[in-house]
């Protein structure tokens, strides 16, 4: 079993949920989080992000200046069988890719065990 952790733009929750469902993953968790990547951004762009939850669709990446502020993002946790992990990662990339900085990051990690809290039963993803 694999755990996929995807950090995406706040405004991409709907398309990501739809992509996960189409990829055969109707079960997942999504939480609000704050973060930033390698590039910072200027105050006008930061204001736009805080008001709209997204970067402009055509940011001039090189004009973004270093600022230490954190940007609203969404974090998805998805556990899937090993044979579904690649398809789920591909679906997340297709749903969130704009080819601009800030599209997100995906991590894939092995899961050794999982249990149902209600019953204590050990289960697969």
**116 in a structural domain:** yes
Q: 72 vs 36, which has greater pLDDT? A: 72
CATH code: domain of residue 24: 3.30.70.120
Nearest in space to 10 (alpha carbons), one of 40, 52, 39, 42: 52
Report the distance separating Cα 24 and Cα 64, nearest Å.
Answer: 38
**pTM, two decimal places:** 0.75
Query: Looking at residue 7, what is its pLDDT?
Result: 98
Report the distance separating Cα 75 and Cα 6, nearest Å.
Answer: 6
**55 in a structural domain:** yes
pLDDT for residue 66 is more than 50: no
Number of domains in the chain: 1
For residue 8, the cross-strand partners are 74, 104
Query: Looking at residue 69, what is its pLDDT?
Result: 73
* H/E segment holding residue 3: strand 2-9
**93 in a structural domain:** no
**35 in a structural domain:** yes
**89 in a structural domain:** no
**37 in a structural domain:** yes
Report the distance separating Cα 7 and Cα 115, nearest Å.
Answer: 25
**107 in a structural domain:** yes
> Can you give the residue range of the structural domain that contains 16?
2-83+102-123
**92 in a structural domain:** no
73-111, pLDDT tens digit by residue? 999 999 999 999 999 999 999 999 988 888 999 999 999
């Amino acid at each position: 079993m694999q755990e996929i952790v995807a950090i995406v733009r706040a405004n991409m929750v709907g398309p990501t949920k739809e992509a996960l469902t189409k990829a055969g993953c109707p079960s997942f968790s999504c939480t609000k989080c704050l973060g930033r990547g390698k590039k910072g951004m200027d105050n006008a762009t930061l204001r736009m992000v805080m008001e709209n939850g997204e970067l402009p669709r055509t940011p001039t990446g090189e004009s973004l200046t270093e600022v230490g502020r954190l940007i609203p993002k969404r974090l998805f946790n998805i556990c899937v069988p090993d044979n579904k992990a690649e398809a789920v990662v591909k679906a997340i990339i297709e749903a969130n890719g704009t080819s601009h900085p800030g599209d997100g990051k995906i991590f894939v990690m092995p899961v050794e065990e999982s249990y149902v809290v209600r019953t204590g039963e050990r289960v697969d993803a």
